[in-house]
Structure 1
């Protein structure tokens, strides 16, 4: 078969503690192969590709590990644009096609789309990694004209004597679709100076094979930790997922694609607009029923009728006049697992003797506090 038409590539064995299954209503899913303790690491995922969020990020973050650059960084001897935080990162360098294109991308008055940073990085991958990237699911669609223009711009930036593996308009279209549905942001540190430098939000984006197979739940049982700026971690762009609470064998591990503190209607709107599906997790089913009952009661009140609302076998009968917020049903979850900053509070990994840690770490602000269900806990 022509090299411009990549074959589907097996994604390989599932990570330890997990197995990959196909669910008719959810697609790929990762299921636990045994019981998981609170705080236990259930998945460590290395990126298939990591790439700068924009050209503005290049003078601020290392082009290899994406840590904050020191005052005297190492410059790439080939493109003289990329900068590196250490001799090690300089030696490992950055994607070859991106390196070749950077001088053109920063010169002149042409505004190049940021999508090219991803495409140049993706087409620099070895064939096995590129095929794994192409195996990711996606449902985004783009016009033929926009893809043709993007592919033409990409072609103009390549070395004259180089044709990347599987290079074609069809592959470019597929790559952009995968990127739009599966990219993860590596966020910048909470520091105003980066906004002054023109970088806000994400320092880089990455595509991760197994992380992309985690489905959504509005009350997730795992959360993701990034340690990009940890100088003691060699693989600092790895994602680490830890269990928020005990997970039984055979249960799907899920993360949340949107903020869990958002209301029912807002969550559904964001999920439909950004990911193209309506969530029917247990929380959404319950809150949807509450909304329906609330409408029925409001209609009944117009006729001066009073109704009691019963939701689910496990819920007590509640008068809708007492319901101010969807979240009252999930107060324990929010108090136990959601930090004041909006991040998730997961227990630290179990101790050497297997005991569950009584310390919880926030994946947003990084605060560590004692697990104190009856109080606020002590922050460190």
Structure 2
């Protein structure tokens, strides 16, 4: 009924980063071994970048806040994709932003934008069209560079104006590459190349050029640690374009070091991830209109690629409301992974976007944030919670060592002290290190990565870390993805295959349980988790063992080890059910997924491509349920007849 390949394709990025950001350090890592320019003039670019940053940096980190009085900005002919119901305003706290003059309901599309620049990641160049970014099994390869692929001649012709120069640049880069692994430059380099070639085509007074040049640059406040990454990326782009002297750079509108800093800063600040309808990262996009949207860790809108338009119009970015947005309210999206605790979110925002966030989620006390808290030691007698002993240093990406942990952590309701806080801090540190290790091994050694997840999760569960807490949720989601991959290698033994499938369903239920604790209904990540859970339940069972009545309508996090309580042990063994009860649970999950997908990808889009797939799955489940019901009726009639 459901394909394992489809489930695997819907997994998120194979890294612990946000699906919506392109950190500068990552952007340059693939190309640093081949980015040394040949000209002494160009070698000076790096020093000029650092010098320009040092001269202009004010040492302050701005704070993003939507508070304060905003004033309307006349956008003139710019940002034509913004409808009259949206207006551009500027705010002293958060700068420019997009505000609604007419309220938006969840699932309503605020606006649709086609990116000014988009490129595929290196691993997707052979399986997706470089023009429309759609997948294909028989794509046509460029006969010259043998890198770009296209659906047909129409897609190739539409892309030729940029690929003509890109094609030669790819050949030049490959000829200088030390090995095949870096024969194709990383997507940030190729994206910046396309940006500059397109800039050559447009005069500075065109709408396209004014929108691109108007994007936010942090040249005046870049942190010192960003200089090295920016320098590497600048060197790589210069080499990719085949430039040797400053006059050649001037042909692209780059007259001095400040222009280089602005270009790189605009890219790292405003580039977003190009994704499939299932949020699988495919590459990089740059859209000045979408870049106007400010950040919140509690967003009221999302940027998605539902893939509902004609092929020649794709890729299209849809900005969709996931919460009611009242007239006069600002449209806010999340730049980062909001399932992470505040310390990690703030560290990522500072490193990549150079600001502190003061949204409603970030000002929550740690004990009130499900990402960073656990129940009171007196639970269930007390309904309060205690903050997990993460490092108070917002620049830290990891929990503290035992010596750094706060010893006296108390319940926010009854003031009971959390016992063994240093031991819990040490466990969180080890779990974070294990998560980082598992992420790094998931491609090269998935079995070891899965083993790490299986070893760490019971320790966090036994320490009363809730399903939504970090790093338990991240480990749960990684474990689920690894188990879905393993399903495709299902053993010949039917019982073993059934066991693997059931365990995968339990992992999906745990992921949904955790995500529902931190993401608003209709968030695309949460909606897709419901869809994946429902599809797993709908997979044909290799060895069905009957079914159990009274199955709960919502999934539970059943990753906890068996206890001495017989009822809990029975429930753990019984879930997931089999037969008709399993299909009923699949139907409930798919209905929930369908509702949330309509919100996440737009009601007008029918939930996007995934929403349509879920609707088809629902029809198939209903059909199979009817067969089960008829079989049951016939069986009862046979028994009655024999009597």
TM-score, normalised to structure 1, is 0.69
Q: Who is 1:89 aligned against?
A: 155
Q: Spell out the pairing of 1:111-126 with structure 2 (5 A cutoff).
A: 111=182, 113-114=185-186, 115-125=188-198, 126=202
Q: Who is 1:278 aligned against?
A: 356
One of 43, 46, 54 as aligned partner of 2:111: 43
Residue 249 of structure 1 deviates from its aligned partner by 0.2
Cα distance in 1 for partners of 2:251, 2:165 equals 9
1:75 lines up with 2:75 in the alignment: no
Q: Secondary structure, in 3 states, of the residue corresponding to 1:249? A: coil
Gaps of 5+ in 2: 1-74, 374-384, 388-405, 417-463, 470-512, 532-595, 616-621, 623-643
Query: Between Structure 1 and Structure 2, which shows a larger proportion of helix residues?
Result: 2
Q: Spell out the pairing of 1:1-380 with structure 2 (5 A cutoff).
A: 12=78, 15-16=82-83, 17-54=85-122, 56-73=123-140, 75=142, 79=145, 81-94=147-160, 95=162, 96-110=164-178, 111=182, 113-114=185-186, 115-125=188-198, 126-127=202-203, 128=206, 129-139=208-218, 140=222, 141-143=226-228, 146=232, 149-150=235-236, 152-156=238-242, 164-168=251-255, 170=257, 171-187=259-275, 202-228=281-307, 232-288=310-366, 290=368, 299=408, 307=415, 331=517, 334-335=520-521, 337=523, 338-339=526-527, 341=529, 345-347=597-599, 349=602, 361=607, 368=614
Residues 122 and 130 of structure 1 are in contact (CA less than 8 Å); yes or no, is this contact kept in structure 2? no
Distance 1:101 1:278, change over 3 A: same
Cα distance in 2 for partners of 1:24, 1:285 equals 20
The structure whose Rg is larger is 2
Residues 151 and 169 of structure 1 are in contact (CA less than 8 Å); yes or no, is this contact kept in structure 2? no
Distance 1:226 1:154, change over 3 A: same
Gaps of 5+ in 1: 1-8, 192-200, 309-321, 352-358, 370-377
RMSD: 4.5
Query: Which structure exhibits the higher relative contact order, with contacts defined as CA atoms closer than 8 Å and separated by 6 or more residues?
Result: 1
Query: Between Structure 1 and Structure 2, which shows a larger proportion of strand residues?
Result: 1
Q: Secondary structure, in 3 states, of the residue corresponding to 2:361? A: helix
Distance 1:350 1:341, change over 3 A: closer
TM-score, normalised to structure 2, is 0.43
Residues 193 and 237 of structure 2 are in contact (CA less than 8 Å); yes or no, is this contact kept in structure 1? no
Residues 277 and 609 of structure 2 are in contact (CA less than 8 Å); yes or no, is this contact kept in structure 1? no
Q: Secondary structure, in 3 states, of the residue corresponding to 2:112? A: strand
Cα distance in 2 for partners of 1:203, 1:331 equals 28
Cα deviation digits, residues 267-288 of structure 1 (max 9, x gap): 2333233322222111221235
